[in-house]
Amino acid sequence: MLRFLVPDELAGLRLDRFVQVRMPRLTRTRAQKIVKASAFRADGERRRPSDIVRGGEVVILVRERFIEPITPLHFGVVYEDDALLIVDKPAGLPMHPTATYHKHTLSYLLKQRYAPEAGFAPRIAHRLDRETSGAVVCAKTIEAERALKQGFEAHRVEKSYVAIVRGEMAHDSGEIALPMAPVKEGLHVLMEVRPDGLTAWTRYEVQARAHGHSLVALFPRSGRQHQLRVHLAAIGHPIVGDKLYGPEREAPFLEYIETGMTNALHARLGHDRQALHALTLSFTHPVTAEPFFVRAPLAGDLTELWSQILGACRA
């Protein structure tokens, strides 16, 4: 059961709009469905999406017990010592709990594997999107966590990624320096290139081209949300499989939420997840103070995808 007190500044909104404001990842359509299925008054009377909320009242949402979506429930270990744990995160595994995921998250799996014995679960020091695979740095002590997070915030950690993008990129290498900010309209999770945004900088090097696609290495200097995906889309080369920043923008994302991955949607996207992998990390070890480098092998599904593209080229 969720209870939302209506502040005076939101009084007068439709109930579905109020729910969307309080749960900003929702689309208007999804908010309406939630209200129809879950919204009640204090006396148990059901509510309608068109109801007008009043300041000071409590909106009650009663949600049925949910089953978490299926995700990979494993992770690889690339490196481990007394202070560090470098995880090879599979695509599809969320980093942290959300309204949809709880036990099916990397943070929960870390607790299950390490906390029963050590009493301290490794702490994740940075972020990867759920669909992005590859290297994730975790700290096994409070001191290491503090040092690692400071390194990421100060941009002292060098990262590289590999992506498969649409189109054969014209230049072998280049830089993308386009400021970014959250969108003013549309899905709240989206970012966009905007002159008044925060500085964002990405260097790229094309590794190969084939059959209308490019295999590209990416070196972000800044760490904005969705930076690589937004930058590549902005120069006309969105990542294959990207449901938010591909040629159809967010339409595939909304369709995926409602219907799952259908054959038709897969054919339009080109892959069942964004073809992006966190390949390497380079930073100062938090204990030894020595340079540290780690590499997570390219995920198998992306190796297979590139092989299929090469096969189509030869055919």
Catalytic annotation present for 88: no
At which residue do the structure tokens 């595939």 appear?
252
Question: What local confidence, expressed as pLDDT, does residue 315 receive?
Answer: 62
> What is each CA distance from 154 to 126, 204, 229, 283, 284, in whole angstroms?
12, 21, 22, 11, 12
Could you say which DSSP state residue 239 is in?
A: B
Q: Where are the domains of the chain?
A: 2-61, 76-314
- Torsion angle in degrees (nearest 10) through CA of 69, 74, 75, 77: 170
At which residue do the structure tokens 């007068």 appear?
12
The CB density around residue 61, as the number of other CB atoms within 10 Å, is 18
pLDDT in tens, 114-124: 876 666 899 99
Could you say which DSSP state residue 10 is in?
A: G
The two structure tokens encoding residue 282: 């380079």
Strands 39-40 and 58-61: antiparallel
pTM of the model: 0.80
The CB density around residue 299, as the number of other CB atoms within 10 Å, is 23
Secondary structure class of 174 (helix, strand, coil): strand
How far out from the chain centre does Cα 119 lie?
29
* CB-based contact 241:269 (threshold 8 Å): yes
Question: What local confidence, expressed as pLDDT, does residue 22 receive?
Answer: 84
Name the active-site residue from 16, 88, 129, 301. 129
CATH number of this structure's domain 2-61: 3.10.290.10
| Domain 76-314 CATH assignment equals 3.30.2350.10 | yes
Question: What local confidence, expressed as pLDDT, does residue 118 receive?
Answer: 60
The series of mean pLDDT values per 10 residues for the chain, 315 residues long, is 86 92 80 88 86 90 78 95 97 89 92 78 94 97 95 94 98 97 81 95 97 97 95 98 93 85 94 98 96 97 96 74
Question: What local confidence, expressed as pLDDT, does residue 4 receive?
Answer: 84
E strand intervals along the chain? 2-5, 39-40, 58-61, 76-80, 84-89, 123-124, 133-139, 158-166, 173-177, 180-182, 191-193, 201-210, 213-220, 276-284, 291-295
